[in-house]
Amino acid sequence: MRVLIVGSGGREHALAWKIKQSPRVRALFCAPGNAGIARIAQCIPIAADDLEQLVAFARDQHIDLTVVGPEAPLAAGIVDRFRAEGLAIFGPVKAAAQLEASKVFAKQLMAKYRIPTAESQTFTTAAAACAYIREKGVPIVIKADGLAAGKGVVVATTVAEAEDAVQRMLVNQEFGAAGCQIVIEEYLRGEEVTLLAFTDGTTIIPMVSAQDHKAAYDHDAGPNTGGMGAYSPVPLLTPELQQQIEAEILQPTIDGLRQEGIVYQGVLYVGLMITASGPKVLEYNVRFGDPECQVILPRLQSDLIPIIEAINERKLAEITINWHDHHTACVVMASGGYPGPYTTGKLITGLDQVAALPDVYVFHAGTTVEGQNLVTAGGRVLTVTAWGETRQDALDKAYKAVQIIHFDGAHYRTDIGRRGVRPS
């Protein structure tokens, strides 16, 4: 089997790492990939959103399966385009990808099918949005409608901060077309948790739970990022709570989409707040999360390829998916200044020493090769992942590896894994 992975981040490196383990895969490609992926797959210099070039490559190279990592090509309709050419691809169609690409669409779906979420309203003018903020008070959450690389959400604790977010999105158009509409919603109190599921449009099979850490700095301080670390499993997500989420959120979402004429096939990501009144949806994603993917796939005992095939054939109910019992944790090492402006081209050292450590794997995100040197090439640079018998064991191994790796300006959170608990 010849497999193509679309994307260039830590999630795509994790997908390549897992897919490479399948005995059925004899050739693995990634477009465009990164320096870490290049060690296990052939990287192809085609951008993840260049749909026509990707279709041409898949057709010309007789690719048997394409796996899409990031959200942008899914929202652009890569699955529809590949299917029109008779090419096998894994991910939801464009209509289903609206679940992530438009927060307004997601809110309307949840309202129609009574899926629990925060109270909200949609706005296209700053004056109306600011009046609503003053009426509701703070804290309050402002979200750009469209895709904004994980940075289009502001949790405002003052009216001035909320109105500034409205100004930046609707007036200054900081996120371009993604911010032409905004959703303003109530601030939910509780603990966040992520639950991903495989689905073929009818059957849902949840994956193991994970918890992301989106804030840039320790103690959840600073601006939101694409994610600074994660761990799995999450003790908060008990079997009983997971069953409730399946019954009240996951299945109604897939069933609701199907009633709207949309068959959702792929990975459904639900970001949840566990409130005093039960779980509520914070956001949907239409693919593996990053960095959640980097702690979930190392726990997947089953071959990923048959799972993908069962989803594409709408036969997910016929297979069993097995998971490892061990705990996983990952720490993102980011460029100085991220998620704001940062510089690239910084020499990365220590990876050879880390490669000798047991139960540790470094997934590359923003890396490239210049001459003989591995250098930084993005905001999130590396996802240092480890596994162990306990969460603390996994965290200790991950942080031991982090301390060996160096590049100028590197920053990372030291409190991944449990609120207020720092690994030794």
pLDDT at 316 (0 to 100):
98
List the pLDDT tens digit at each of the 424 positions of the chain: 999 999 999 999 999 999 999 999 999 999 999 999 999 999 999 999 999 999 999 999 999 999 999 999 999 999 999 999 999 999 999 999 999 999 999 999 999 999 999 999 999 999 999 999 999 999 999 999 998 866 788 999 999 999 999 999 999 998 998 889 999 999 999 998 999 999 999 999 999 999 999 999 999 999 888 899 999 999 999 999 999 999 999 999 999 999 999 999 999 999 999 999 999 999 999 999 999 999 999 999 999 999 999 999 999 999 999 999 999 999 999 999 999 999 999 999 999 999 999 999 999 999 999 999 999 999 999 999 999 999 999 999 999 999 999 999 999 999 999 753 443 3
Q: Do strands 2-7 and 65-68 pair parallel, antiparallel, or not at all (unpaired)?
A: parallel
Report how far residue 196's alpha carbon sits from residue 179's, in angstroms, rounded to the nearest whole number: 26
- Give the length of the chain: 424
Q: How many alpha carbons lie under 13 Å from residue 146 in its C-beta half-sphere?
A: 15
pLDDT at 424 (0 to 100):
34
Residue 268 phi, psi dihedral angles, 5° rounding: -105, 125
- Architecture per CATH, 327-404: Alpha-Beta Complex (3.90)
CB–CB of 9/20 below 8 Å? no
> Vertex 142, ends 136 and 145: CA angle to 5°?
130
Please state the domain extents for the chain.
2-93, 125-180, 191-318, 327-404
Task: Tell me, yes or no, if the pTM score tops 0.85.
Answer: yes
Report how far residue 297's alpha carbon sits from residue 170's, in angstroms, rounded to the nearest whole number: 38
- E strand segments, 61-181: 65-68, 89-90, 120-123, 140-144, 153-156
Residue 263, amino acid: V
| Number of CB atoms found within 10 A of residue 197's CB | 22
Domain 125-180, CATH: 3.30.1490.20
H or E stretch covering 312: helix 304-312
Report how far residue 128's alpha carbon sits from residue 170's, in angstroms, rounded to the nearest whole number: 11
What value does the CA radius of gyration of the chain take, rounded to a whole number of Å?
A: 21
Give, in words, the CATH class of 191-318.
alpha beta
CA 406, chain centre distance (Å): 25
Strands ordered across the beta sheet of 360-364: 211-212, 229-232, 327-334, 380-388, 360-364
- Architecture per CATH, 2-93: 3-Layer(aba) Sandwich (3.40)
CB–CB of 73/94 below 8 Å? no
Tokens representing 99 are: 């679940």
